[in-house]
Structure 1
């Protein structure tokens, strides 16, 4: 769902979209006193879309407390927000975006309500839709002939298809990448390209989540658009940004594409939202490491970077942070399922054998054999190599088909004899890894590897010595018993390997000789490409230049300065530090989130270092609730963040040195009696005489013991439940105002130490 932060005027008051809906419906109910059926007729659920406008209060109350609807405040649930009609109580959804709010406003106007807001033009919706899906051939011709568009049978986009409305304009698109023959100078870089094959106007949505009827423009000639594209099947576009309006004018209004508008942004992502600009990370780098303190968004930005590397043309629909994040996550999951993104975590015991290749023992009827097993890096490199270069459709042999023909032949015979140039050998048996054969006049304990056979069959490996004299005839035999098939054209595709916690592994041990091969200039596809012979399989190996490597590094675990020098030379390092500015203008009960984070990090940097500061991600859930205008729940979430995230992390940073944690929280400034309720960590100093009595024999040591006690999070009277205590972390004037307002300013019970010391004097 698309979102922005436009405010609408209703009855002289300003409202965000969700609050506008609540205000209009409440006034309608107050004026008309409808029953449930009458209310649903006035405001039908399809105005909102798939979720619907209302949920019955009984149904809502029955939901688990950790359900998505309750946890993410999907409905207005406060007592004064519940809609009461003559025969029930309803809750209104908070989920409104640019497209469905325009439908609601239109409906409200028909009921006599006047709402001022965005212009009609900016609310118009355009759809760019795919016509090839699920391995099926391009359906454009059929769609035009039948005056329809369909979303396929996989049910993947049912909800989005139901959002397409009568009168919306749609275009059929096809997205791919292109490096050469571009109508502009792209410095040899790949560009995303989108063909516009047909345009039309929706005349009816059948609401089956699959089919819409379309009045297609006759005799439309294909158009080709560059750089600003969207890979997925359904793309909803509004003319609210220059690049979006340019695309709409190009596809529907006959305008030419202004390449300069996009060339200046070609190295950046068009992804943005009204709340957050996502970090622009160096494009074109094959090897990069995102590093920074905990909570700075490394995990999420790894997903963003992996998707952008694998699909340079991907551009999610603009919306809220959560919606853009969901788009990236969905695309990421699709690429993982396709095998184009792989994920691995380094640790102290991780080695070359798991990462590249190693020997793995297997037993068959008591006979032990050792097979070379590829690691995650070798696997994805081999897969990427298949898509290194674009290829036209060609007729070739397929190993899987040939092997199937062989197994069928073997099932009818006791053995299969394979001819060599002057002799032959007999295949007696096979399992999922090995082929057992007998030399003519020899023993029966010889084996061939099926994975090696596949590599030789597909031309990815040569075996000139030793067992090569048996592999080559067997490859020839497999081709003779199978037929070549027409293979589809291959487009160049990018692959991504994500290495989490890359600094925790022994880089020299894990990468071995491959540390040289990952250099961009040494990759397969480059003039200076090199290859090495792997130690276990003895095959030549290189790293293709369509394989991106993205690592993450938590600087709280290990300093960048301690990284392997060879690794540092071959990777681009992208620092990801806390960004308090993301919370500018966001406050919870007067607590300014940006100032709170900035002040704590300023103190941590002095007490420890900048690599152990607190990331902005800790406060993102709080900010998300602030956007829903529910400060009470936002304050509860802030308490949760301190209890379960920040305090435990500070304990780890400072090895339970509670005095330093007090300094981070500003408790050292709370010295008067009036400030006791605002202290997060109380300090108590007792003499050893009070603890042990006299003659304790500890005179050679310090004669006082300092202890600390964390305020109880469950005590509603503790500092954790007082918004002024949080404000005082960054604003000392709050303390001064409390002191000034206090009638009795007795010293030091915020720190019990002063009282204790006086009593012992």
Structure 2
């Protein structure tokens, strides 16, 4: 797989025509294209030489120095007269748009970091189709953006898995970032950005199991009261952390409305885009609109260029739809009201009605159970092993708890709401793994996080990866050990999450003590430890010999 960047405007001297790249990327199917010129760049696009672009390659589409999207090439080149009339180009390829620059808040920071690193003010702005070779700001940005896309794609897969299964456990060797990954998933599902916001969210709970943890901590149990005036101590029934959490999820209130704005807005934008492809603007009220780069409505003149322009974005229209002032200044409020009425008259936009309703299916509540296998699972969950089953979520999975006779209403039953998601973590080598009986095991989906995945997730350098992989391969070659004893990427991070490269200290203070524990009781443990140390230092040895 190779990386490229392309600009699809015609060069000066060949017409100099400006082409809206985003229209090509939003075409069905999405496409990229170039003209028919006798130069290396067009030959690369057609793949005439071995070095040319191929199916599966990654391409950054840019307009000058502005990144638009990264895409994956999905077809060979082809000709199409209709496309040529619309987009000027002669040769086309189908692509899959992986990510738009404006839709990913992290890409802006990624670009800035690469420009700062190489002391540049922008990515490469010239050239039609360029292959990424060498170490520079543009090439590094494209490759790092693609890696970011892969991570986000993997995150979406994990979220889909949890949403479908309701109960998910991350397993793997120590230090593979299972807890970190679980929290990142919770942030994405709840819609918060920082660890602090996650901790403060009523939709999140974190608990760590241990051998002393039991049903009374998790579900409900008797707890001592404060001494009365005579010094007597009594007991009262208290809900445990999981029962309280489920009550919050069950009673969550959601604002719901009958609005169909998203659907209607998409129809309007599609129509404006189609009109643009046919060389026409869309008239709403007294204005003629095209589209800005981020799909906002943009005033344009039909016949003559104008110095006067403005844009109206989706949020502006939605605020107006809800009866709010779209901009603090009140500018263009009347024009936005006209657009709302246009949507009602032409696309069936509903009159909005907002109601507060109780619903289990909107707000997502995520509880992380760290080191879930360190407690006696069956005793902690008790009869709830039935209620957490994805097939018995909701009222149909109601059960009487062990202390039901002490409830105000003895017939009161408890159930786990549909909008509660359980995300557990566990280390494979913990001796308590066997406490996870089969009745509980089949209620969870299991996902292994390998040491190799952790290295990628934590953005470790190539040198650190090489040392870690060499060490883990040596561990697997010891008869009494296996991949469950591998060293995860977290062992190479400091307390702030930054990579450490003081490898000698890392070996002495972190890795050697852990490996000694792994080797305890194994014959010739000292020899094995020396073998592991040699494997860890293999990178430096190779460099010295070279």
State the TM-score, normalizing by the size of structure 1: 0.36
Max Rg structure: 1
Normalised by the size of structure 2, how large is the TM-score? 0.48
